[in-house]
Amino acid sequence: MRITVGNITFDNVRYDAAADVLYLHVGDPARAVDFEESPEGHALRFNGDGDLVGITIVNAKVLIESEQPIGVTIPDRLLIDPASLARAVQPAA
């Protein structure tokens, strides 16, 4: 599954239903070398060049079900359409 947020396509998508946390990464998550927290409380991961390579969205299903855009400041604020993330939090068939 691939999910595009802003101009970044995350090709490594994993949802932890028990914790309601959605992990979005470009490639191998282990390549991230720097970590920050967005003002909204989401974890941001960056590679050695300072490029965003991962976003961890806390309370993902709750946010998606609210149907309001999900804000993530990186450092510019992005608004994510919850519908674009919804399939990532659905149980596997």
Domain range summary for the chain, segments of one domain joined by +: 3-89
Task: Please enumerate in sequence order all residues whose Cβ is within 8 A of that of 11, keeping only pairs 6 or more positions apart, or say none.
Answer: 2, 25, 26, 27
pLDDT at 11: 94
Give the mean pLDDT of 15-32. 91
Per-residue pLDDT for 59 more than 70? Answer: yes
- Classified as helix, coil or strand, 37 is strand
- Residue 93: pLDDT band by 50, 70, 90 thresholds? low
State the Cα–Cα distance between residues 50 and 3, nearest whole angstrom: 21
Spatial distance between the Cα atoms of 66 and 58, rounded to a whole number of angstroms: 14
CA dihedral 57, 63, 69, 72 (to 10 degrees): -20
CA distance 88 to 44: 18
Instruction: Indicate the pTM of the whole model.
Output: 0.76
Given a cut of 60, whether residue 77 has pLDDT beyond it is: no
Task: Determine the average pLDDT of the residues in 51-77.
Answer: 86
